[in-house]
Amino acid sequence: MQHIKNCTEYVIEQRMDEMQKRFNFCNCEICREDVACYVLNRLPPKYYRSDNGKIYSIVQSISHQYETDILMLFSQAAEIIKNNPRH
Ligand SMILES: [Zn+2]
C-alpha cells in the first residue's frame, strides 16, 4: 500500500500559503497544521496510486472540485485558530 496517497493532503498543502494570506491566520507551524487538520478532517479523502506521474493533473482537478468547500473550511478554521491559538 506504499504507493497509495491521499490527494486531498496535497491540495491543502498547495493552497496553504494562499489561504493563510487570504484569511490572515497565524503563520506558525502549529497553527498552520491545526488549520490543515480542521480542513482535512472535513473533506472526503481522494486516494490514488502515486506511481503514474499524474499527480499534478489530479491535484488540479480535485482542487477545482473542492474549491467552494476549501474556501469555506479554511475560513471556519481561521476563525477557530484566531480565537483559540495553541502556539
Ligand atoms: Zn500560531
Per-residue confidence (pLDDT) for residue 4, from 0 to 100? 87
- pLDDT band at residue 12 under the 50/70/90 scheme: very high
CA 78 to ligand 1 center in whole angstroms: 11
Higher pLDDT, 67 or 5: 67
- pLDDT band at residue 72 under the 50/70/90 scheme: very high
Residues paired with residue 6 on neighbouring β-strands, in sequence order? 47
Distance CA 27, CA 51 (A): 32
CA 75 to ligand 1 center in whole angstroms: 16
Let me know: does 77 contact 35? Beta carbons within 8 Å.
yes
> Torsion-angle region of residue 53: left (phi > 0), alpha (psi -120 to 50) or beta?
left
CA 81 to ligand 1 center in whole angstroms: 8
Let me know: does 84 contact 32? Beta carbons within 8 Å.
no
Highest mean predicted confidence (pLDDT) among 3-7, 19-23, 59-63: 19-23
